[in-house]
Structure 1
Amino acid sequence: MILNYLKTARRNLWKNKTNTLINVFGLALGITCCLGIYVFVNYELSFDNFHTNADRTYRIVEHSQKANGIQHWPTTAYPLAEALRREFPNISVTQTAGPDKRIISAKDEKGEIRRFEEKRVMFADKNYLRLFDFKNAFEKGLWLSGNATTAFSQPNSVVLTEQMAERYFGVVSDNYDQLIGKVLTLNNTDILTVSGIIRNPPANTNLPFDILINYDFFKVNNTYQANNWSGNYLGTTYVELAPGMDPAKFEKAVDKLKSKYLNAEDNRRISYFLQPLSYIHTNSLYASEPGTYVIGKEVLWGLSSLAVFLILIASVNFINLSTAQAMQRQKEIGVRKAIGSSEGQLFFQFMSETFLLALVAGFLSVNGLYALLWIVDQKLSFIDLNLTPTIQTWLFGAGLIGVITLLAGSYPAFVLSGFKPAMAIKNNVQRKSNGISLRQGLIVFQFGITYCLLVATWISSDQMSFFQKKGLGFTKDAVLTINAPRNKKFGELDAFRQELLQYHDIKEVSFASGAPLTKNWYGTDFHLKSEPITMSRQAEMKNTDENYQKLFGLQLVAGQWLSTSNMVPDSVGFNGFVINETMVKMLNLTPEKAIGEKLVINEGEAPIIGVVKDFHNASLQQAIQPCVFMYPNTPEQIHIQLLGTNGRLSNLSQTLAHLAQTWKQTFPDDVYQFTFLNESLAKNYFVEQLVFDAFKTFAAISIFISCLGLFGLITLTAAQRTKEIGVRKVLGASVASVVGMLTGDFVKLVIYAIVLALPISWWFMNQWLQGFAYKTDINGWIFVLSGIFAVTIALVTVSFQSIKAALMDPVKSLKSE
């Protein structure tokens, strides 16, 4: 029986090739996009779910109350982990520092040194790879050599990933035991001994590392940070609660514990909270770990909604075309019923047609899915995505085909199987039935979604353009950044600067802790010396030299910039602070009155000697932060401004070659790597770019699928009204009037869709823009142009078939009837 249904379905689908192609192509596009979004969303929600006790593992986060609001930190003071072990022996605790950049080197078999600057070096204690065992990520286990029990038995122990082992010691033909005891050098001075080799951690983790060094090594070499309860550096504390333990009660216990270790002021302002491991990747309240990214659940919900809408639009096409085609299948249905077919049999016959269409579309979408995932991987290559379909994807796809069959096929099957046989044989089924009114409603729904996506695309495009064009308050073009050699003082670096400045295409060189807008954000508390400590606020601290202002074009509003000429040696090694206008306002001063005021920060106190005009020191999603500049002892980055003409760099390859050669001659034991500042800044908006690309892509697909449906409907409508068109033309109707008759109803429906969707699209996009501190305005012309565009594409779609029908010879059309 089922095979008979499928055979008959195949014949009917082949007979109506145009509608079949439209439905198959529309459904294939919808399924491809839906599966692609499923893979992406499922991947983003899978972060760190492969650890044995991931559901009982939490990151401890810190909320710090300041006079200007609450600061949210994913990191905590380093001594917290040891205190938790003492106070709560029934839980597992692990402490990390980093990940951070370090220079790692090793000698190969020929005695040559392999030296690299690694960006994901992390210090971890002996519990780290017990809590985070990656058990469900690897069928053959995490460890290639060594084990979690002995890996950190010595202070200088280091665990390498498979990739790092190959980088420093070459291919070892899976015999990783021979690498145990091998030696690496950290920052050209400290000796590390390899104690374990593990597989490369999967990409979907917020615990990124390539090299793990014993945390005891960090404690010995960073005693101040490791024992400082008031500081918040790169230390992250994780806990694994015992089975059945109440997280809320433990959270309260941790918050009470702090009074035992913190001073009165820190105890007042600092609070600790538990954040589930599964929430880390999708909670944008806290900054991302170095080397990771956060993508909010609202973005994932938005993408999921787009997937649902695309499937609905494709299903709407099927319902509309099937019900419209019902008029051509009246006699077939009437004959079937007259010879004994029941409504149930007819229902399953039409459902089998839908299933066959959905199945073919599903098979076509497989290749489309791989192509789509490849494009997404290339587009977002800088965040190391690993989007691949899994067995879950195909199970979801199978379920999707079932849902589409029920969603798209049920109503047409009910309508078609319900025709009365006598009326159907006479072609006398009423046209203006509920199916027609539903079809009109579905067209309104379809184009309403399309209109909303058009508006969203336009507004998100404006926002991205606003980000790109808005002045940041500093020079960002033709500036490249090199990580400064470690532990080098300014005097040692000045010779390198002077050598570079002699080159004709280098304009300026500056040493600092980072660019004006950078992810390397260092915070400090500040208050005037005349204010009580309870008035402390949070500011960004930038270590910069005397050339920084000139290189980045920062504008002085009052006072002077930092200088070595009048340096006054004291306990903190600087002669004054330069602050920005936002910080001046927080101090309730004017730039002129701020000069000379004593400012206290965590690092010491000094007078304010200068005020600079506000610049964006945070991405444009956030407001400008208060900022204090001070002269550093040891810079972290070297910024180099290149000469260019009309925005273009001349002789770039030669300049870069000269830089590399000069670096190698000056710092032979350090690794040379550079990045262009404007490229680094663009990565700050990758989530917004992702949203924009999604709107743009899915709006185009939505328009295409909707136009496919309209094309099929106007084709069927013209065929059903062939006799009417012939009569009208015989009676003198013009081609234009016939075209207007055929297109008018569809254009009206599109206009109704626009009117209904306009307030909805405005509300959603207005809510989306509220997430940005600096945003574009929503202009009314966006809604008007989107409406004109929607009406135009609908009109173009239906006009072709309308004109074709209107130009038909009336004698032939009447004769065919």
Structure 2
Amino acid sequence: MKLKFTLRVLSRNKLFTFLNIFGLALGMAGGIIVFQLVKYHLSVDTYHKNAERIYRAVVDLHLGDGSIEHERGSSFILHNTLKKEFSAVEHAAYLAHRPLTIAVAAKNKVNKYLEKESAAFTNADYFRIFDYDWKVGKPEVLDNPNNVVLTERYAKKYFGTENPIGKSIKLENKQEVVIAGIVGNYPDNTDLKTDVFVSLPTIKTLVPNYGYEDWGWIETSRETFVMLRSADLKNDFNKQMPAFSKRYHGADSEIFRYHLQDLSDIHFNIDYGGKIKKSTINLLLIIGVLMVVIACINFINLSTALSFKRYKEVGVRKTLGSSKWQIFWQFISETAIVATLSVVLAVQIAFFAGPLLGQWLKTPINVNVFNDLKLVGFIVLLLIAIIFIAGFYPATVIASFNPLKALKNIAEVPGKFTLRKSLVVTQFSIACILIAVSIIVVLQLDYLKNKDLGLNKDLILHVNIPNTESNSMNAFKNQLLQQADIENVSFFRTAPTSQSGNGGSIKFENRDWEKFIGRSKTADAAYIDTYGIKLVSGRKPIASDTLRELLVNEKMVKDLGLKSPEEALNKRLLVGDFSKIGVIVGVVADFNNTDLYSGIEPTIIFSSQAHYRQAAIKLKTYNAATIQNIAGIWEKLYPDNVFEYSFFKEDIARFYEREELISNLTKTFAALSVFISCLGLFGLATFSIKQRTKEIGIRKVLGASVVSITTLLSLDFLKLVAVAIVVAVPIAYYFMAEWLQGFAYRVSIEWWVFAATGIALILIALLTISFQAIKAALVNPVKSLKSE
């Protein structure tokens, strides 16, 4: 009977029931999606059974100028040395990622693949540290040369349904390796996304010219992982690192400071290349809570407003003997039914919206209540919390009605307007904050992508160079320059603006080592013309295949303590990471040589043909036919490789994927919060206008116009929105000012951002209210005066 009565009450108030269910569902769907997002990030690489004993060996470079560079990469010799010298180390693995061209012989042809990120060299201990499901083979095969292990996904990619074990593939068109093992595919929640594991001894054949015994030769893409015999040994291990550094770095031991980074920290620590900040996870949690809070506020406001229509019902029930608690639990049960229906709808919304949103956020978001117990537990707790939060106050208000006054239809809820108004203000304050935050994030992201870097980034194409043999490189350049749409061509290792922090200590003339690092850009003589880098003093270097003549930037001149660029000319400079001396022949204008989290750094540009990895092709105009011509020339000169290209401007845009994620999140949830808030505002406006039907009729009889009545009905609600804006602005300003501190270059927070936010919110609210207000103002006053 209670259920039937509750359903009857809900069906009598279809509009309010719909608004309650749909509003709650949207808020809960937002909460469910945020839960899945946070759960994914917190679960990354936690599935390894020894996760609490797994670490990455990292090094902090303490420079003489007081700055610290955090390096996740390590020297090749580190992993074996740690295992030999420290009994606490049970296993030590080296993982060296490197783009590889892989040739696989098929029936009538050879298929070629360029594996830019999925291939790495490693040793057997990698699979003793991290959990993989071995389908065929054992980890030991990776300690022997010319072996490779594939994931099931890549075994199928290369060989289809054939058994790949014992078959050969060719790396870089010169080294054949044998498929010696197959492992299961890695799960989504991992940052260790490698599919082609080449045995570590093979690296010396493919990359002979590398500092394998050089402790100072550190590359970000080459990491050392260790597993300790016990997690309790970590602190003792770190205490031994200064002495370890002294043994192998000597006088430079104060610069190289090693320590272990927890596996659980790798995903979140941006200093060492993490994917997402913990603060962003906290932001996600806050957004999820706010979505639910906004939805609950809607429910509370609509339920308390609707309760005024039920005075007589409550009066009759109390007169017939119902207690306050019986009425309270009756209305809690109504909330439970609405909340349950909302949960069902919310799960459906999240099920369909999650994967779509996941593609936009580049994070897997799958909502499946049939195989995710944590999600089911969260939904149950969310349902209970919403029933309590959203139902408690309306049920208390209704249960407290005085039966005599209720039968006479006399309202009596002390402070009801104050509470309801404060809830509307809270709701729109949250929406206002999210809108302002999203605008500032978008502005900052746009600024990062379009800031003048002191060079030209438009219409520059990057392609890989498979080898640095002079004849093929010269032929490639000459044939390209014969194309009418190509302006210039340059060969280099890293682009002028890059996240690769190549560099080392430097010596100027007969001075001691400088207290700062010089960033190295190995490139040919056409580099500065191709990228439009301005030469401010001296001349361009003469073409060379080795380090002889140098260009330095203005920042280098300043940090060397020189008064003018001319003072640097014809001076000798020892480039530490190449251990060679060159002569400075020119000074270039400063350009941003890394992402815009950091400022401009002292930079050296010099030739070293053996280290070139890419070609920059400056186009006059973009033309699809030109790209095809470039591909045709490249494929004729490098027939055994795979042609791929990217635009320099797009490469720079990828530096800011974290900001893209935050931007997409804030835009999505700002729009959702505004929509949910407007649902509630629409409901409240509808109820309020119905309560004032006779007043509207009287005003029209007395000559009030449609415009004046609409304005009157809208003004009370618009005042609340205005108060919400006043509350939200300082909060949004504070948080965004803190966030922007993380960038060396950032937009200023202008007044117009908040003005635009406020105007937009007021217009949205006005549109929401005005529909019902105009409708009420147009009603015939005779009908209004007859209404009960």
| Smaller-chain TM-score bracket | over 0.9
Q: Specify whether residues 496 and 203 from structure 1 end up closer, same or farther in structure 2 by C-alpha distance, changes over 3 A only.
A: same
Which residue of 1 is the match for residue 559 of structure 2? 586
| Deviation, structure 1 residue 728 | 4.3
What is the match of residue 550 of structure 2?
577
Alignment partners' CA distance in 1, 2:365 and 2:422: 41
Distance 1:489-1:518 versus aligned 2 partners, 3 A rule: same
Pick from 418, 439, 447: which aligns with 2:428? 447
Of 480, 503, 513, the match for 2:483: 503
Checking the alignment, whether the CA contact within 8 Å between 1:27 and 1:311 is kept in structure 2 is: yes
| Residues 103, 110 of structure 2: 8 Å contact kept | yes
Q: CA deviation at 1:88?
A: 1.9
- Report the secondary structure of 1:94's partner residue: strand
Q: Provide closer, same or farther for how the CA distance between residues 577 and 344 of structure 1 changes in structure 2, counting only shifts above 3 A.
A: same
Q: Deviations over 1:748-773 (max 9, x none)?
A: 22222122222111111111111111
Aligned to 2:693: 722
Q: Which residue of 2 aligns with 1:65?
A: 62
Partner of 1:56: 53
| Secondary structure of the corresponding residue to residue 599 of structure 1 | strand
Of the three residues 203, 222, 228, the one matched with 1:218 is 203
Aligned pair partner of 1:305 in 286, 302, 305 = 286
Q: Secondary structure at the match of 1:45?
A: helix
Partner of residue 75, structure 1:
73
The alpha carbon displacement at 1:107 in A equals 1.8
Q: State the AA in 2 paired with 1:485.
A: P
Of the candidates 242, 266, 275, which is equivalent to residue 261 of structure 2?
Answer: 275
Corresponding residue SS for 1:781: helix
Question: Are the structure 2 counterparts of residues 505 and 733 from structure 1 closer, same or farther at C-alpha, using a change threshold of 3 Å?
Answer: closer
Quickly say closer, same or farther: Cα 1:397–1:156, change in 2 above 3 A.
same
Where 2:267 maps in the other structure, the secondary structure is helix
8 Å contact kept, 1:84–1:93: no
- Counterpart for residue 90 of structure 2: 92
Distance 1:388 1:703 in 2: 24
Distance 2:238 2:721 in 1: 55
> d(CA) in 2 for partners of 1:416 and 1:438?
15
Tell me the CA shift for residue 445 of structure 1.
0.6
TM-score by length of 1: 0.91
Per-residue CA deviations over 1:108-148 (Å, capped at 9, x if unaligned) read: 244x32222212221111110111014xxxxxxx1121123
Matches of 1:360 and 1:5 in 2, distance apart?
17
SS at match of 1:231: coil
Partner of 1:291: none
Q: In the alignment, which of 147, 163, 169 is matched to residue 157 of structure 1?
A: 147
User: Are residues 1:259 and 2:246 paired?
Assistant: yes
Q: Which range moved further: 241-250 or 501-510?
A: 241-250
- Inter-partner Cα distance in structure 2 for 1:588 and 1:751: 55
Match of 2:159 in 1: 169
Whole-angstrom CA distance in 1 between matches of 2:476 and 2:617: 12
**Following the alignment from structure 2 to structure 1, what is the Cα–Cα distance between the partners of residues 366 and 645?**
29
Corresponding letter in the other structure for 2:150:
L
Distance between the aligned counterparts of 2:188 and 2:419, measured in 1?
47
CA offset at residue 219 of structure 1?
Answer: 5.0
2:530 matches 1:551: yes
Q: Distance in 2 between matches of 1:561 and 1:13?
A: 81
| Structure 1 residues 143 and 609: CA distance shift in structure 2, 3 A | same
How far apart are 1:63 and its partner, in Å? Answer: 0.4
Give secondary structure in 1 for the equivalent of 2:264.
helix
Give the match for residue 528 of structure 1: 508
On the 8 A contact 1:545/1:563 being kept in 2, the answer is no
Q: Which amino acid aligns with 1:583?
A: M
Q: Which consecutive unaligned segments of at least 5 residues does structure 1 have? A: 135-141, 173-177, 289-293
Answer yes or no: is the 8 Å Cα contact 2:238–2:258 preserved in 1: yes
What SS is found at the alignment partner of 1:206? coil
Is residue 409 from structure 1 mapped to residue 385 from structure 2 by the alignment?
no
Q: Distance in 2 between matches of 1:459 and 1:683?
A: 19
Distance 1:686 1:344 in 2: 54
Structure-2 residue corresponding to 1:138: none
Query: Does the 8 A contact of 2:88 with 2:230 survive in 1?
Result: no
Shift of the 20–198 alpha-carbon distance from structure 1 to 2, 3 Å rule, reads: same
On the 8 A contact 2:88/2:233 being kept in 1, the answer is: no
Question: Which of 618, 628, 651 lines up with 1:680 in the alignment?
Answer: 651
Contact kept in structure 2, 1:78 and 1:95, CA below 8 Å: no
Instruction: Give the C-alpha shift of residue 513 in structure 1.
Output: 0.7
- Alignment partner, residue 175 of structure 1: none
Letter in 2 for 1:597: K
Q: Partners of 1:9 and 1:418 in 2: how far apart?
A: 19
Between the aligned partners of 1:179 and 1:689, the Cα distance in structure 2 is 40
Match for residue 407 of structure 2 among 425, 429, 453:
425
* Distance in 2, Cα, partners of 1:660 & 1:631: 26
SS in 1 for 2:452: coil
User: What are structure 2's unaligned runs of at least 5 residues?
Assistant: none
Conserved? CA contact 2:357–2:365, under 8 Å: no
Query: Displacement of 1:76 after TM fit?
Result: 1.9
Q: Which residue of 1 aligns with 2:194?
A: 209
Instruction: Give the Å deviation of 1:735.
Output: 4.3
Which one-letter code corresponds to 2:64 in the other structure? Answer: A
Structure 1, residues 670-695: CA drift from partner, whole Å, max 9, x if none? 22211222222221112112212222
Which segment is superposed worse, 88-97 or 693-702? 88-97
Assess if the C-alpha contact under 8 Å between 1:323 and 1:436 holds in 2.
no
Q: CA distance change for structure 1 residues 422 and 725 in 2, over 3 Å: closer, same or farther?
A: same
Identify the range of structure 1 (205-214 vs 463-472) with the bigger mean alpha-carbon deviation: 463-472
CA deviation after TM superposition for structure 1 residue 197, in Å: 0.6
Aligned pair in 2 of structure 1 residues 188, 501: CA closer, same or farther (>3 Å)? same
Aligned partner of 1:419: which letter? F
- Aligned match of 2:16 in 16, 19, 24? 19
Q: Secondary structure at the match of 2:270?
A: coil
Q: CA deviation at 1:554?
A: 0.9
Q: What is the CA distance between 1:742 and its match in structure 2?
A: 2.6
Please state whether the residue corresponding to 2:504 is helix, strand or coil: strand
Local SS of the residue matching 1:50: coil
Q: CA deviation at 1:414?
A: 0.9
CA distance in 2, matches of 1:128, 1:385: 26
Q: Measure the CA separation in 1 of the matches of 2:57 and 2:231.
A: 19
Q: Say if 1:203 and 1:386, in contact at 8 Å, map to a contact too.
A: no
1:643 to 620, 625, 628: 620
Mapping 1:104-253, distance limit 5 Å: 104-110=102-108, 112-119=109-116, 120-134=118-132, 142-148=133-139, 150-172=140-162, 178-218=163-203, 222=208, 224-233=210-219, 234-243=221-230, 245-253=232-240
Aligned partners of 1:96 and 1:235 also within 8 Å: yes
From 18, 41, 44, the counterpart of 1:44: 41
The residue type equivalent to 1:574 in the other structure is: L
Superposed displacement of residue 164, structure 1 = 2.2
Partners of 1:676 and 1:223 in 2: CA distance:
29
- Report the CA distance between 1:440 and its aligned residue: 0.9
Provide, for residues 633-688 of structure 1, a one-character-per-residue CA deviation record: whole Å limited to 9, x for no partner.
221001112221xxxx23x1x22222222222212222221122222222111211
Letter in 1 for 2:547: F
How many pairs does the alignment contain?
777
Shift of 1:84: 1.5
Aligned residues of 1:40 and 1:387 also touching (Cα < 8 A) = no
Q: CA deviation at 1:553?
A: 0.8
Write out aligned runs for 1:388-399 (5 A). Answer: 389=368, 390-399=372-381
| Superposition TM-score, scaled by structure 2 size | 0.94
Cα distance change on mapping 1:323 and 1:188 into 2, 3 Å: same
Percent identity over the alignment is: 37
Aligned 8 A contact 2:459 2:620 in 1? yes
Secondary structure at the counterpart of residue 778 of structure 1: coil
Is the 2:432–2:758 contact (alpha carbons within 8 Å) kept by the matching residues of 1? yes
AA paired with 1:524? G
Answer whether contact 1:456 1:761 (CA < 8 A) is retained: yes
Partner of 1:700: 671
Structure 1 counterpart of 2:749: 778
Deviations 1:761-790 (A, max 9, x none): 111111111111111111112222222222
Residues 123, 143 of structure 2: 8 Å contact kept:
no
**Distance of 2:361 and 2:316 partners within structure 1:** 57
Per-residue CA deviation, residues 381-408 of structure 1 (Å, 9 max, x unaligned), is 5xx7465543322332232222111111
